[in-house]
Structure formats: structure tokens, C-alpha cells
Amino acid sequence: MAGVSIRPSATTTSNQAFASRLLLLLTALPLTLAIFAFVLQWRGGLNNDPTTRWSPDKFEFPGMGTISSSKPPKSHSSSSSDCSELLGRTSISFPYFRDWKFNFNTDLKPKICITTSTSAGLEQILPWIFYHKVVGVTTFFLFVEGKAASPNVSAILESIPGVKVIYRTRELEEQQAKSRIWNETWLSSFFYKPCNYELFVKQSLNMEMAIVMARDTGVDWIIHLDTDELLHPAGAQEYSLRQLLLDVPGNVDMVIFPNYESSVERDDIKEPFSEVSMFKKNYDHLPKDTYFGMYKEATRGNPNYFLTYGNGKSAARVQDHLRPNGAHRWHNYMKTPNEIKLEEAAVLHYTYPKFSDLTSRRDRCGCKPTKEDVKRCFMLEFDRSAFIIASTATEEEMRHWYHEHIVWADKALNLKLIRKGILTRIYAPMVIVQGLRESGVFSSVVLSAQKTLSKDKFLSSVESNNSSRTVTSNLLSMRKFGRSKDDSQATARRLLEFANTSHAIAVPPLSPPVMDELLVEV
């Protein structure tokens, strides 16, 4: 036995060699991939990558002219500083927006415009405009007052392609005082009252002018929307208002978007479009038994299922004889419009999303904080209650009331209502607005406007706007807004006689169905 030698077989030797090569391969492959990734990353710093081009340092954004500047200046004038503080600064880019185009081709159909009457600031209007540009709106008619008409804000708004800014000047008021709806009866129940009623009349007059401007610019659809509302084009093949309206049959004159109402979950919201994702669904998008069965839990002791209105907003096909029918609907002088109500798309209404909304609404209205007087000022019960609280309570009491009536802090209740379909999560607007902000689009608009207009030209533009803006007439307010009814009665109302004229009464903001109404229906 001692003389017998044991040698490994050829098979054993082959297996060992194969195992050695496999081990070497498995060791070398990750190292090779890591080196390759490092090389790509190093080379990417030298290339003109689209993501880099969209960074706030270079200000090259879709639909906007390139501004030759390596970095934003470290200091600006006071107006520039204010805008920057409002919009916030960012040092990162958001590459998923690289292919978005904000200047649409003129042959793109349908062409959609939004008209609004606003006194908001840039921090609200810019996200509102560019969100709607993303979903397919090409044209905006902004009837501005207050903060929106200030030089710092209006000059920037006027620099945005597709945006037309209209100021409340003497000329505008005189023109509207001669308009057709001014002398008709369907809007008359809203005359001679302040606050919300006054705004409702102004909105209707502005919508009438917007129809003419929309027709002159070749617009196919017109929508009236407030700057605390975003269109949610669910139900289309893509998240596109264009696609949604493209699919509407040609015989339809008006499309109704039921509104969803924001349900904020805390009291420190600063940028509602970027921070709010929970909404309460409209009655029209719920089974009747669900709405009825969960009504008390969804209302939480408030006057109604929604805090404010529940009858949605609408889009109208631009055509002959079109007229507004209040801020929520359109009508036609020669026919009853053929309308449809969308089953999935909605208007997202951000209702009292910030605690400061209580005092800001109070400061815009000069009514007395009594149950009787607020009826003259506000159409909806919750607005009346909120005005009284904001006018009579301490800050601590106001915050307690805000938590009790507006903030949805009960996570168990929220989850229950989400499971029942009353509440829903909608993230698309939040993602879009956050992405626009992180891409530097808003700050770019501000800086672009200031660079396009030299300082002297900027100031002269401001002076020009102010000269026509500050010397305004009280003609409208005296005749229709309740301050001098006797004067207006001295002027005979012009009666229009058309054989087929339709004088449907203006549709006000309406609350959703209440429990008693549902019991009658059932």
C-alpha cells in the first residue's frame, strides 16, 4: 500500500480550474461596472446634459427665452427680493420635466383658455398658470386687482407667453357699463350687495369680455376658474385637458367639471398646491347611498357636506351668442346649451387651506360681524361663520375653530372615509407643481422679466400701468354694487327684445345636496 501513489483525476482538475475562473469573473465584474459608472459620471460633468441645462443656474426652461447668465445675481432690488422670497430658491433640477413645452404650436387643437378675476400674489398665480400650461391650456385672461395689479406682480405676469393682463381702469368700467349683460335682468338679483356678490358681478362682466377676446384669438374652449382651483383632467388617455376636451362630441356646448374640496391635515400649510393631496369627492362622483350614509361623518358639524360651493365649474365651446351665466356656468342667447357632466375629471378647490385665509377674507370685506349683516355679504353659510369668527375671536380661538371645522387631523376617520370613497388622494397636481418649483421655472420667470425689461423701461412700464389703474371710476360700484341704488334707478334699463333670447337666471355658488333633500329623493 505504501508504494501506491494517489493522483487527482482529469475531471477533478477541470472542475477546480472552472471554479477558479468563475470566482475570478464574479470578482472582476462588479469592479468593472463600478469603474464604468465612475467614468460615465465624470464625463457627464463635461457634457451639455439637458438636466444640467435646466438647472436654475442657467435659466434655460421650456417655452422661455434663454438668458445668458452663469449664475443669478446675489442681490436684487427690493421688488426682486420680495419675489424671490415669495417663490423660494432651489439648487437642484428636476429632469422629468425636460420635454415639457409651454409654448404650444398654433395648430394644436383644441385651443383652450382660462379666464379669472384675481387679486392674488405671484406665490399663488405662477404655480396656477404653469400647472395649467402643463395640462394643455394655451391662453390666460387675467382680470387683476389688488396685489395682482401691483407693479412687481403685473409686470412679471405680462412677460409670460400666452398671458393677457387686464386692469380695472376707468376705461374698462365704462366699457362694461355699456355691455349687454349689464343692462339685462338675469344677473340683477346679485346687484346692490357687497363682498361676494360684488365679486360675482365683476366675474360675470369679465367673463363677457373674455368671450370676445377668446373668439378674436381663435380659442376653441373657454373656462372660468379662480386662482385657488386646479383642473384635474382624470379620465383622459393622458393627464391632459387637451385630450379630455378633444374627446368631447362635437354637438356638446358645455362640459361641467364637478368640484372636489381640499381636506387639509394640518394648520401650517404654506403652499397648498404643493402640500395638499387629500380631497373630498363631489356628490356627483359618489353613489347616493354612500353620500347619504356617510353624510354626518363627512360634514363634521359644519353647515354642509362641503365648506363652500359644490356645483362645480364649466368649460364652454366658443361659439356665436355665448354668454356667461354667473361664475360657474355659461349659456347661449339663442339656444339652451347641450351640456355633459364629466364622470372622472374634476375641479380641485383649495378651500381655506391656510390658516391665514380666515383673516385675509375678513380683510377684503367691510361687513359687520353679525348673523344678519353677513347675509348681505356672503352667499354660503360657512363663509358667514368664518367671517364672524375671524372678526370677533382671538388668535387662539380662531386656531381652535380652524382645527375643529377645517383641519382633518383624525387619521382613523380619514382612513375610514377614504375606504368608503368619500375622501381620495390625488397626487398629480402636487407632483407637477413641486417639479416646476424644483426645476426653477417660477424663479426663472421672475428673473427673466427683470432682465428683459431694463430698469428704466421697467419703471416706465409701471408708471404707465399705474396712471391708468389708479384713476378708476366708481361708475360700476355706484350703479350695481349697492352704494347708490337711487342713482342707478334714474337711468332707464335698456330692454333687449329677441324672439329666441334665453334669460336663464345666473347660477350662483351652490352647496351640495343636504340630508333632507336626499331623504326626499329616496
Mean pLDDT of 234-252: 95
For residue 110, cis peptide bond before it (omega within 30 degrees of 0): yes
Phi, psi dihedral angles at 107 (to 5 degrees)? -90, 5
- Report the pLDDT value the prediction gives residue 492, as an integer from 0 to 100: 32
Residue 424 belongs to a domain:
yes
User: What Å distances lie between residue 343 and 252, 289, 328, CA to CA?
Assistant: 15, 17, 18
3-state secondary structure of 324: strand
Q: Which domain holds residue 198?
A: 97-443
Q: Give Cβ neighbours of residue 427 (< 8 Å, ≥ 6 apart).
A: 277
In this prediction the pTM is 0.77
Q: At what angle do helices 151-158 and 455-470 cross, to 10 degrees?
A: 110
Residue 456 belongs to a domain:
no
- Placement of cell 391632459 in the chain: 240
- pLDDT of 481 > 60? The answer is no
DSSP designation for 58 = T
**Per-residue pLDDT tens for 339-361?**
999 999 999 999 999 999 999 88
- pLDDT of 169 > 70? The answer is yes
Strands of 334-471, DSSP E:
339-341, 346-349, 423-425
Residue 154 belongs to a domain:
yes
* Stated length of the chain: 522
Dist. CA 118–CA 329, nearest whole Å:
18
- pLDDT of 449 > 90? The answer is no
Q: Are 344 and 255 in contact (CB under 8 A)?
A: no
Alpha helix segments (H runs only) across 161-282: 170-177, 196-216, 241-246, 272-275
Exposed (0-12), middle (13-18) or buried (19+): which is 193, by Cβ within 10 Å?
A: buried
Dist. CA 430–CA 422, nearest whole Å:
20
- pLDDT of 143 > 70? The answer is yes
Residue 337 belongs to a domain:
yes
Residue 369 belongs to a domain:
yes
The residue that leads in pLDDT, 191 or 63, is 191
Least confident of 24-38, 63-77, 273-287, 362-376: 63-77
**Per-residue pLDDT tens for 182-232?**
888 899 889 889 999 999 999 999 999 999 999 999 999 999 999 999 999
- Report the pLDDT value the prediction gives residue 33, as an integer from 0 to 100: 73
3-state secondary structure of 77: coil
Alpha helix segments (H runs only) across 217-262: 241-246
- Placement of cell 396712471 in the chain: 467
Residue 347 belongs to a domain:
yes
**Per-residue pLDDT tens for 70-93?**
333 333 333 444 444 444 333 333
Dist. CA 152–CA 132, nearest whole Å:
22
Q: Give Cβ neighbours of residue 63 (< 8 Å, ≥ 6 apart).
A: 101, 102, 103, 133, 161
Residue 41 belongs to a domain:
no
Q: pLDDT class for 428, splitting at 50, 70, 90? A: very high
- Report the pLDDT value the prediction gives residue 472, as an integer from 0 to 100: 40
Phi, psi dihedral angles at 256 (to 5 degrees)? -100, 130
The residue that leads in pLDDT, 138 or 59, is 138
**Per-residue pLDDT tens for 104-114?**
555 678 999 99
- pLDDT of 376 > 60? The answer is yes
Q: pLDDT class for 32, splitting at 50, 70, 90? A: confident
- Report the pLDDT value the prediction gives residue 41, as an integer from 0 to 100: 54
Mean pLDDT over all residues of the chain?
80
- pLDDT of 159 > 80? The answer is yes
Burial 170-179 (b: 16+ CB within 10 A, else e): eebbeebbee
Residue 504 belongs to a domain:
no
Domain count, the chain: 1
